[in-house]
Structure 1
């Protein structure tokens, strides 16, 4: 089982060690960071975050509850209290030995619970590059629906990446939760 705990400066070295090349960094963060990832850029990333009542972003590390091992990273940003919406971003199963074991699903379900139950949101969305088929399958298994594709939205080297937009609405979350 995955539990989310706030990401802190003590977690910077581990995240930096996971992001070992420019393509992975861009896939994980879009244009937010430049390679190599640094502690100072992560300090900026955390500024003003992690206050459930006030912040417009919550940044988490994903912890395997049985072992206490940190296995991933995820954030819920763009929190709009006026529109009751937010955006999942920077999803990373950083520990490669944890991939394929349901860690991504655990992270997504935990962040959806925070958004819909703790924050009372109506809509949560995310964007994922279309070549990341494993992530798309994970998000669909968690109940997110595809809204559309933003074609050639980001240039990496000599190629363009397209972004699949996905979302879940409050009533869809309640239906999934009530089935359990």
Structure 2
């Protein structure tokens, strides 16, 4: 499979209905759901995932990329750009590595480097923003390593297992990204 966005390790490609079985597995994993979403951890249906893929693919204000290993094209995760405000050149970003065996191996960094280059060079956006929960320390370290700046927090935003956690807002501007890749 020839991909426009690729590194030595991974490629960012489209997600199709053929990927539904693996997506359904991820959306049955409580740990995955709690890292990725503030909604209560509950399984998603095949039809809701089909609708999400179709909605994002058909949208003029978002992009959805599958993160695939180059050696066998296995779907390892996804990156979503959403809520693009073209007039302000701003978008939201979300990333998920599905199977816990693939987390912490550099896939997220490779995927974010590819998608941020796409955001700033191809889409000509100025700002990318994201949110992350206190307990997702691995993601926070990665975002900061890539140049994202901590811009604020929603205190006690989420409750998990009887404890409250903050949700942090991070942003990255085009000139900050260009500076981080030149170092």
Category of TM-score, reference length = shorter chain = 0.7 to 0.9
Matched, 1:38 2:42: no
> TM-score when scaled to structure 2?
0.85
- C-alpha distance in 2, partners of 1:21/1:101? 19
Residue 107 of structure 1: CA displacement?
1.4
Q: By how many angstroms is 1:41 displaced?
A: 1.1
**Cα RMSD (Å) of the superposition?**
2.0
Contact 1:129 1:161 in 2 (8 A): yes
Q: Where does 1:78-157 land on structure 2 (aligned, <5 Å)?
A: 78-89=83-94, 91-156=95-160
Counterpart for residue 24 of structure 1: 32
Q: Which residue of 2 aligns with 1:61?
A: 66
Instruction: In structure 1, list runs of 5 or more residues that go unmatched.
Output: none
The CA deviation at 1:145 is 1.5
Q: Quickly say closer, same or farther: Cα 1:171–1:163, change in 2 above 3 A.
A: same
Q: CA deviation at 1:26?
A: 4.1
Q: Which runs of 4+ in 1 moved over 3 A?
A: 21-24, 155-159
List gaps (5 residues or longer) in structure 2: 1-8
TM-score, normalising length from structure 1?
0.86
- Tell me the equivalent position of 1:15: 23
Alpha-carbon distance in structure 1 between the residues aligned to 2:41 and 2:158: 14
**Matching residue within 48, 53, 56 for 1:49:** 56
